[in-house]
Structure 1
Amino acid sequence: MPPEEYSASLPKATMYGSLFFTDTAGRPLQLLSSVAAGVWQFPGGNTDAGESPWETAVRECREETGLDFTGPPRLLAVHFMPPVGGWVACRAGFVFDGGALTDEQLASIRLDPDEHTEWQVRTVEDWERLCDPPTFRRLVAVMAARRGEGASYIETGEWT
């Protein structure tokens, strides 16, 4: 079978890349989506054509927060979602470690209002009260990877 024909027969999928940050006290940073009401997210988004998940994470972080991340790519988690919630393709996400942000770096965050309305750093316990269950499970898995427990693989079937 010619490569073009074989490629056309494959299932379609999308990818995203994101950066996970904490403050210097180890409290995770998340952004409140202005698109999906009540959903907290890491800085990140869908890959553009020809872009790697790492390139996406860095670009989206800059666009969404104004932070220009220059650290090395350190993978914390891979996140798989089947086609749910109106999506017609599977989604795979790559969450990279952005490290700890100083108070000055946090104060310099400038959100894109078309994407996010606010940012917060909170304890994991506080995030459990604010996040939907799939978002919180992802946060816990990413925190475990950050602690050195190895990269996480997460499947989310009921993602919003």
Structure 2
Amino acid sequence: MANPWIPPEQYVKKLPMHASFGCMFFTDTAGRVLQLRSCVKQHAQVWQWPGGNTDTENESPFETAVRECREETGIIFTGQPKLLAVFWQSVGQWPVAKLGLAFDGGQLTADELDRIALDPDEHDEFAVRSVDEWAKVMDTRWWQRLAAVHRAQQAGATAYLEMRSDGYW
């Protein structure tokens, strides 16, 4: 027997819930990766890309990445969306899974880096470092994610990463 049709507003109540986020991945003209150091209590000292959680029902992950980038760095991204990576995280401190998209923000010049204005409520420092230099200051699992996205950017490809139950990609 076929399943009876269910109105969409009832059907969606049966679907698993997840949060989504968008972020921008920038390099400088030497190919070094830009990251921001969080000063938010739960994430203090964690290095991350400009981005954050989608705030409203109709905000796309790209719109989220652009908005968060502007709020966190003052960078107004006007380019087209170029997807570098898709992340699926079903483990961790969140009560629901998270689906994230990383977009290629392109290369920033020294002038553009000098104009970065961090939101002091979210980040206390930014840095550009090579992938190898980032390995020395980041937790292994987050460095693995950075390295995979950097490889995708260099190859002109898109990475798909799932955080496993052991916390690694």
- TM-score exceeds 0.5: yes
Instruction: Output the TM-score relative to the length of structure 2.
Output: 0.90
**Deviation digits for residues 57-80 of structure 1 (CA, Å, limit 9, x no counterpart):** 110000000010111110000011
Matched, 1:26 2:34: no
Identity of aligned residues (%): 52
**Deviation digits for residues 14-61 of structure 1 (CA, Å, limit 9, x no counterpart):** 110000001100000000011202211000000121100111111000
Tell me what 1:79 maps to.
Answer: 87
Shift of 1:149: 5.1
The CA distance in 2 between the partners of 1:97 and 1:129, in whole Å, is 24
- For structure 1, the 5+ residue unaligned runs are none
- Return the letter of the residue paired with 2:95: V
Larger radius of gyration between Structure 1 and Structure 2: 2
- Return the letter of the residue paired with 1:12: M
User: Is 59-68 or 141-150 further displaced after alignment?
Assistant: 141-150
The CA distance in 2 between the partners of 1:46 and 1:77, in whole Å, is 16
The CA distance in 2 between the partners of 1:38 and 1:146, in whole Å, is 25
The CA distance in 2 between the partners of 1:31 and 1:156, in whole Å, is 21
- For structure 2, the 5+ residue unaligned runs are 1-5
Tell me what 1:125 maps to.
Answer: 132
The CA distance in 2 between the partners of 1:83 and 1:5, in whole Å, is 27
The CA distance in 2 between the partners of 1:100 and 1:149, in whole Å, is 14
> How many positions carry a matched residue from both structures?
158
Residue among 37, 59, 84 paired with 1:51: 59
**Deviation digits for residues 100-123 of structure 1 (CA, Å, limit 9, x no counterpart):** 100010000000011111000011
Runs of 4 or more, structure 1, over 4 Å off, are none
Matched, 1:104 2:115: no
